[in-house]
Amino acid sequence: MTSTAGTGWLQDNVALITGGATGIGRAVAMRFLDEGASVVVVGRDKDRLAEMVEGAGDRRDRVHTVVADVRSVEDMHRSIADTIERFGKLDTLVPNAGIWDYHRTISRLGGEDLSAAFDELFAINVKGYLLAVDAAWRELVKTQGSIVMTLSNAALYPNGGGPLYTASKHACRGLLLELAYELAPKVRVNGVACGGMRTDLRGPESIGLSDRSIERSFARNESTGANPLLPLHDASVDPADFTASYVLLASKANSANITGTIIPVDGGIAARGFATAAGGDDL
């Protein structure tokens, strides 16, 4: 599906991506640029947003960044207003900003930590998605656009995280289905359930995991089995190799009949399972 500007699947598309300065969000933004789109990247770190723009090279005229927190109603509405001012419309919303719980099981979190981490993780992973849609849906109705949510294998199966992350992604799965119903027929709502990727995904600050990066976990082989197609198939844990489904779902010409759908991009976990066995080692 790789294309160059001028011949891509997303010519004249304007997309807003939350959490788009790093990880899968950045990879999607770069892929959308390859496919001819203009992108608005929302994030909290001004320096990382600047790095993302620099990485866009000669396509930077099609990139706009907004420093914003997805937990803020005001910030999200400002992000949409900036999008319309800069590019004149919005075709695609990619709710993507999120944090992971680093497989913190129920037996490893006491009540106080559990409560604090729940509030933080759900505020970003679930409320952040909902507030992005709240700010964007009116503009998406105008363009008969689409929403493409970043989900996870944890939205479908256990052991993609601990109970907090898994519950948050199941909540987003429910949100996707409800919004696909409510916004039809004007706006399509779909998702991509990504498997484990080598990104800078962080954990909740409330339990001391904000400085921990999943990329370092991959380096220590803590995520063995994240993609069952590895190492023999031509697969990878590079975020760029997870982006094609986002392009498909954002393309009105190629997915006009698709809504309420989740595309798993996880190496076939449903067929082969996780390499790590279930167990009660913490009990």
As given in the structure block, the two tokens for residue 201 are: 């995904």
Q: Which residues are bridge partners to 43 per DSSP?
A: 67
As given in the structure block, the two tokens for residue 234 are: 């031509």
Q: Does residue 185 have a cis peptide bond before it, meaning omega lies within 30 degrees of 0?
A: yes
The distance between the two most distant Cα atoms of the chain, rounded to a whole number of Å, is: 57
**What DSSP state is assigned to residue 209?**
-
Among 129, 165, 181, 246, the active-site one is 165
Query: In 3-state terms, what secondary structure has residue 70?
Result: coil
Q: Look up 129 and say whether it is catalytic.
A: no
C-alpha to C-alpha distance for 125 and 71, rounded to whole angstroms: 9
> Going by C-beta distance under 8 Å and a sequence separation of 6 or more, which residues neighbour residue 248?
1, 9, 254, 255, 263
Which residues are known catalytic residues? 165
